Structure 1
Amino acid sequence: MARGARGSAGTTPPGDWWRSYFDAGYLDEYSPVFDLIEERRQVARLTELLALPHGARVLDLACGQGRHAHLLAEAGFNVDGLDYSRDMLKAAKARGTGKTLRYTRGDMRRLPLRWTRRFDGVVNLFTSFGFFDDPADDARVLKQVARMLKRGGVFIWQGGNRDALTDRFLRGDAWTTAEGTAVRQDRHFDPRSGFLTIESTWTRRRKVERRTHRIRLYTATHLEALLQDAGLTVTGVYDGFREGPLTRGSHEMLLVARRGPPR
């Protein structure tokens, strides 16, 4: 989701913007990013990094419209997807559900107690992290992830890399969606809070709509420290879904962590 940083001053979204932002408008705005061929490539890479047997139980945390959860189930995993947005879950369920693919609505800061130590793997993808006003809530999410995992379980986090996004970024961007909406994004980065604020302007049939959301960006160093505090040991840091290591120029990063050695 994070595409750039350090733009003009701009407005501040409400602290609970994430409660209503992920709707049909979001799906339209980001439709050029969603590509089934690329998603299959990403899931192939996730399967390689998870290194779990057929039938292993995997949680897609903040699963959105089920882009990855559906394909992970198709690849042979037993998948649960969790998201707060009813609109995203409706879209996810429309892709299909079954014995090995289930969706649950919930807050990733407070995951179900029945899921404790139930998962062989957890994934959090597409910068679906850093939404909350209080940074302690981000740490709380990672502690919830650790609670979900069995000993030796794998966690994969993928999203924007603060180092690169604040060094070389797009102050603004524009495109046209699949439904013909003209989208303009203007961005501002606050180095103190770490928040990247994105102001979106949609124009369609002469109707203009504006809304704002924000994401707290992390460096690999900071994120690894939070993972360690949660009881997770980082075993790999990559240039997004690519096989190469993270570099200063990597706009995306992917971290692999484990919850202690298997017994």
Structure 2
Amino acid sequence: MQESKKTWFRNWFDTPFYHILYKDRDYAEAQLFIDNITEYLNLPEHAKVLDLACGHGRHSIYLNKLGYNVVGADLSENSINFAKEFENDTLHFKVKDMREPFDEKFDAVFNLFTSFGYFETENDNLETLKAIKESLSEYGFAVLDFMNVHKVIEHLVAKETKEVDGIVFNIKRWTENGYIFKNICFEHENESYDFTERVKALTLNDFEKLMDQAGIFLLDTFGDYKLHKFHEKESDRLIMIFK
């Protein structure tokens, strides 16, 4: 049985199986969101943008096509090595822990599609927010796109089987001690694998407290990728704009 001896995200995100399981994500919807949010932010031409927790860099690449000078950063060396094949003069990728601020300053920092709340302690989440703030230019904005935990927990699917590229993923979900867990078991080439995702079930109120501690100003909240207002019981997402 192949299991994590490192933190779960450092281990799981660095495997090819993570990208296989999530290969069918709706990237058209993601691009619509990026179109909407960059228009809302009214970023200057050739703005410097940081895509934090960029994975394989698909959204960094799209941001770059919109004309921005983009840096994609991720903890996964395998993901960054993959993304580096798409680098150009205005698109670069680097391995980086999101708890550490960048030396350079950005006009916008994007942390998209629930790429937050993985860490062991509350302080790590606080340090991440501080690092984002410190990586912003004087007139920069940050966008943190998280799940709406109220709706997610209410509609949590306890068990699910999903087959992708001939691999059968057996998935279980549950909540415990303020976290949402997702266990993923499967076999591949006669090896058994077992990974468990864990994300802190942070509410808007939780984020507001963390942001207050970090000296961050929350400017606006949205509840979906079309930028409708956030409603706790109805919204699919919790999208926060801050500086």
Question: Is structure 2 residue 166 aligned with structure 1 residue 180?
Answer: yes
Superposition map of 1:109-258 within 5 A: 109-112=99-102, 114-115=103-104, 118-177=105-164, 179-190=165-176, 192=177, 194-204=178-188, 208-247=192-231, 248-258=233-243
CA distance in 2, matches of 1:240, 1:121: 19
2:72 to 76, 81, 91: 81
Counterpart in the other structure of 1:8: none
CA distance in 1, matches of 2:156, 2:140: 35
Letter of the 2:216 counterpart: L
Letter of the 1:250 counterpart: S
Letter of the 2:49 counterpart: V
2:39 to 39, 48, 52: 48
Paired residue total: 239
Contact 2:8 2:195 (C-alpha < 8 Å) held by counterparts: no
Offset of residue 199 of structure 1:
0.6
State the percentage of identical aligned residues: 27
Counterpart in the other structure of 2:30: 39
Offset of residue 63 of structure 1:
0.9
Superposition map of 1:9-20 within 5 A: 16-20=7-11
Query: What TM-score, normalized to structure 2?
Result: 0.91
Counterpart in the other structure of 1:9: none
Name structure 1 gaps, 5 residues minimum: 1-11, 259-263
Offset of residue 229 of structure 1:
2.4
CA distance in 1, matches of 2:212, 2:42: 21
1:100 to 90, 97, 110: 90
Q: Report the 3-state secondary structure (helix = DSSP H, G, I; strand = E; otherwise coil) of the residue aligned with 1:166.
A: helix
Contact 2:156 2:174 (C-alpha < 8 Å) held by counterparts: no
CA distance in 1, matches of 2:67, 2:179: 37
CA distance in 2, matches of 1:15, 1:131: 13
Letter of the 1:222 counterpart: D
Question: Is structure 2 residue 19 aligned with structure 1 residue 27?
Answer: yes
Offset of residue 203 of structure 1:
4.1
Deviations 1:141-178 (A, max 9, x none): 0001110111231110002122222222211222222x
Offset of residue 91 of structure 1:
2.3
CA distance in 2, matches of 1:46, 1:76: 14
CA distance in 1, matches of 2:229, 2:210: 20
CA distance in 2, matches of 1:232, 1:249: 26
Offset of residue 130 of structure 1:
0.9
Higher relative contact order (CA 8 A, sep 6+): 1
Q: Report the 3-state secondary structure (helix = DSSP H, G, I; strand = E; otherwise coil) of the residue aligned with 2:24.
A: helix
Query: What TM-score, normalized to structure 1?
Result: 0.84
Report which stretch shifted further, 158-167 or 74-83.
158-167
Contact 2:29 2:225 (C-alpha < 8 Å) held by counterparts: no
Letter of the 1:160 counterpart: M
CA distance in 2, matches of 1:152, 1:228: 19
CA distance in 1, matches of 2:41, 2:5: 36
CA distance in 1, matches of 2:171, 2:31: 27
Letter of the 1:140 counterpart: E
